[in-house]
Amino acid sequence: MKVSLFVTCLSDAIYPRVSEAMVRLLARYGVEVSFPKVQTCCGQPAFNSGYWDDARTTAKTIIEAFDDCDFVIAPSGSCTYMIHHYPKLFEDDKVLHEKAIKLQNKSYEFTQFLIHVLGVSDVGATFPHKVTYHPSCHGSRLLGIQDEPHALMSKVKGLEFVPLPFAEDCCGFGGTFAIKMSEISGAMVSEKVDHVKETEAEVLVGLDMACLMNIAGNLRYRNEPVRVMHLAELLYEGVKQA
């Protein structure tokens, strides 16, 4: 299979270790991942703010970047779901509309790809720590990611999972929402961190670095010693320890 990495802005600019972990884990299963350098932002900030012409420009670049691969994988449910909006952006362009649907159908968030395409739920990891999990809104509500991360964590030796109270509540980031409604956003992430503290977990894990960055910022502000990790990082670190 020909697999390409959609790195996403945050992973590319701030958290490259997340994509590195994904690529190294996939290599263990014989999956060689390509990286089209022409790729850019998914266009979600412009799309959500009503600037659809600008969103079309970046969407067209993404469509062309991944046109010749079999699968596209990303470390973000939010950016992956933005691709599901591409057919709507190109309703008046038959060629791009068809390509957008094709891209939508072959795009996967990382845990979805591991479980549903590769059929892998046990990567052979060991991670002897107390862990809780935040399900990001786009991944859980829109992409339907529910059991995949739990299936992967349940196979990690030594991992003690602690459910996060009110886990389904938004962390308050929401992209431009955090800027336009900063006071509400701040209250939401503060409440989220309160619940993280309730678990007494050593590690908070998730599938979207935008949400994790927001929560990690509040944790640092409070000087809380909770480590924040993308699930791909946890699995790869666990594989190295095994």
- Is the pLDDT at 136 greater than 80? The verdict is yes
For the whole model, what pTM was predicted? 0.94
130-241: what fold? Answer: Rossmann fold (3.40.50)
Structure confidence by residue, pLDDT tens digits, 168-185 = 999 999 888 888 899 999
3-state secondary structure of 43: coil
Alpha helices (H) along the chain: 9-13, 16-27, 44-48, 52-65, 77-82, 86-89, 94-105, 110-112, 137, 148-154, 177-180, 182-199, 209-221, 231-241
Tens-digit pLDDT profile for residues 83-126: 999 999 999 999 999 999 999 999 999 999 999 999 999 999 99
Give 28-45 pLDDT, tens digit per residue. Answer: 999 999 999 999 999 999
For the chain, residues classed under CATH 3.40.50 are 130-241
Q: What is the mean pLDDT of residues 194-221?
A: 97
